[in-house]
Amino acid sequence: MERKDFETWLDNISVTFLSLTDLQKNETLDHLISLSGAVQLRHLSNNLETLLKRDFLKLLPLELSFYLLKWLDPQTLLTCCLVSKQWNKVISACTEVWQTACKNLGWQIDDSVQDALHWKKVYLKAILRMKQLEDHEAFETSSLIGHSARVYALYYKDGLLCTGSDDLSAKLWDVSTGQCVYGIQTHTCAAVKFDEQKLVTGSFDNTVACWEWSSGARTQHFRGHTGAVFSVDYNDELDILVSGSADFTVKVWALSAGTCLNTLTGHTEWVTKVVLQKCKVKSLLHSPGDYILLSADKYEIKIWPIGREINCKCLKTLSVSEDRSICLQPRLHFDGKYIVCSSALGLYQWDFASYDILRVIKTPEIANLALLGFGDVFALLFDNRYLYIMDLRTESLISRWPLPEYRKSKRGSSFLAGEVSWLNGLDGHNDTGLVFATSMPDHSIHLVLWKEHG
């Protein structure tokens, strides 16, 4: 057939084909396919692939593409990034998808950062760190050597670790370098707390002392307890120091003058922990900004007001069993909103506004886990063999790290958590430095540290 005649025939066929119903069109195509040879079928196959396979990410408006991407899991999205440069560009630019993926991993999100590529990079960093945790490869260990007798007291702050020993000395260590920054002669230390200028120590000699780092001089001596002082805390703004003792009392002192302002009674066991903290919630008994004192013994946690009046009375007593059949572990978390303590029954979390128990977290697979740190997302726990990380959203243990045969302490003074901001959510920057420290039978300090990102 001549070209002109063919074009005329094709036009006539096209007009007729367009006038058919869908069913008739399908039957016509079926008939034509049945009459076609290999060359025609190959031609048809090649053209259909182009017509049917549409790149929807390229064709759709960006907002619709982002909406569809939200339904895919992060691992699938990473695979889709390999399809083409265009897909990688669109998927990487979907900020909300990667922010959500990071949140689901327990990472903190700064909404002010709008750089789209930033959040995909953060997610890739997050997934690597979480895999390291799951594979027990996120930490490394180190030791501090310098004391010649039992190390009984530890306190950590801003990259510095203070250790108090039976060798009548206290040392301040730079955790990152392992170097001793200060070393001063003291009494036997059962508890320590420090800042840039001073060190406060509670002792087995029944006294509390304040020392100057630069000179090593004792600047204040607090006498009055009739038993060993197991815990101390202080606040320069209030000019107050508090101490808990084996004589079952808590004493409130004027920090600068060294005089005893009040003796708080009511405990029937050794007071192993005292905490001074600002209240962050309102209730009938306190307001945000009020200073609160918590004291704990083997069975009870007592709450005292501090600041409005020195001669204060106990606001509330918390316990996990009325008959004292269950002991509290000698660790206490109080951030102004919640009180958390561990026991043989599990982790107890109280709401500070109402004093009600919010939840009890039980770990039936592992008994008697002790509390080291508690945040919005993670908790740091340990037993005689391992250090554990718990995801508080699922109440499941997501990682563990083996511990050596460390020195056991019924009062909980010979082990502590290091940096704790990551417990409120990792952010790619706060998973550095000290995780855990404990004293060892050979008088050294065993450190567990975050390993640098791979």
Structural domains in the chain, CATH included, are 3-48 (no CATH), 61-135 (1.20.1280)
Contact call for residues 101 and 123 (beta carbons, < 8 A): yes
β-strands 333-334, 316-318: how paired?
Answer: unpaired
Q: 339 or 53: whose pLDDT is higher? A: 339
Residue 331 DSSP symbol: -
Mean pLDDT, residues 373-401: 93
Q: pLDDT category, 365, cuts 50, 70, 90?
A: confident
Q: How far apart (Å, rounded) are the C-alpha atoms in residues 145 and 246?
A: 30
Q: pLDDT category, 429, cuts 50, 70, 90?
A: confident
**Of residues 428, 394, 423, 378, the one with CA closest to residue 110:** 428
**Sheet arrangement for strand 357-361:** 333-334, 338-343, 346-351, 357-361
pLDDT at 110: 78
pLDDT at 309: 59
pLDDT 10s digits, 76-123: 989 988 988 888 888 888 888 888 888 888 888 777 777 777 888 888
Joined together, the tokens standing for residue 307 give 């600041």
Joined together, the tokens standing for residue 337 give 């909103």
Provide the phi-psi class of 125: left if phi over 0, else alpha when psi is between -120 and 50, else beta.
alpha
Mean pLDDT, residues 125-142: 91
- Exposure of 204 in the CB half-sphere (CA atoms within 13 A): 15
Q: How far apart (Å, rounded) are the C-alpha atoms in residues 404 and 141?
A: 11
pLDDT at 144: 96
pLDDT at 126: 87
Q: What percent of the chain has pLDDT over 90?
A: 58
Q: How far apart (Å, rounded) are the C-alpha atoms in residues 240 and 238?
A: 5
Mean pLDDT, residues 200-216: 95
pLDDT at 184: 95
Q: How far apart (Å, rounded) are the C-alpha atoms in residues 27 and 30?
A: 5
Q: Tell me the average pLDDT of the chain.
A: 89
pLDDT at 409: 64
Q: How far apart (Å, rounded) are the C-alpha atoms in residues 225 and 251?
A: 8
Q: In the chain, what are the helix, strand and coil shares in percent, each to the nearest 5? A: 25, 35, 40
Q: How far apart (Å, rounded) are the C-alpha atoms in residues 259 and 223?
A: 9
Q: Looking at the predicted structure, is the pLDDT value of residue 253 above 90? A: yes
Q: What percent of the chain has pLDDT over 70?
A: 96
Q: Looking at the predicted structure, is the pLDDT value of residue 145 above 90? A: yes
pLDDT at 264: 93
**Of residues 76, 82, 83, the one with CA closest to residue 101:** 76
The amino acid occupying position 193 is: K
pLDDT 10s digits, 302-320: 999 886 455 678 889 999 8
pLDDT at 329: 83
pLDDT at 236: 94
pLDDT at 276: 94
Joined together, the tokens standing for residue 41 give 């079928």
With a CB cutoff of 8 Å and minimum separation 6, the contacts of 200 are 192, 193, 194, 208, 209, 210, 211, 232, 234, 241
Burial degree of 285 (CB within 10 A; 0-12, 13-18, 19+): middle
Alpha helices in 19-84 (DSSP H): 22-35, 38-52, 56-59, 62-69, 74-80
With a CB cutoff of 8 Å and minimum separation 6, the contacts of 413 are 152, 153, 154, 190, 191, 230, 231, 330
Q: Looking at the predicted structure, is the pLDDT value of residue 436 above 80? A: yes
pLDDT at 407: 65
For the chain, give the number of residues. 454
Q: Looking at the predicted structure, is the pLDDT value of residue 297 above 70? A: yes
Q: How far apart (Å, rounded) are the C-alpha atoms in residues 199 and 355?
A: 33
**Of residues 222, 217, 219, the one with CA closest to residue 244:** 222
Q: 50 or 440: whose pLDDT is higher? A: 440
Contact call for residues 208 and 241 (beta carbons, < 8 A): yes
Joined together, the tokens standing for residue 139 give 């930490």
Mean pLDDT, residues 218-246: 95
pLDDT 10s digits, 32-75: 889 988 888 888 888 777 666 777 777 788 888 888 888 888 88
| Highest mean pLDDT of the ranges 96-110, 211-225, 361-375, 398-412 | 211-225
Q: Looking at the predicted structure, is the pLDDT value of residue 353 above 60? A: yes
Contact call for residues 70 and 96 (beta carbons, < 8 A): yes
**Sheet arrangement for strand 169-174:** 151-157, 160-165, 169-174, 179-185
With a CB cutoff of 8 Å and minimum separation 6, the contacts of 430 are 419, 421, 422
Residue 40, helix vs strand vs coil:
helix
Q: Looking at the predicted structure, is the pLDDT value of residue 203 above 90? A: yes
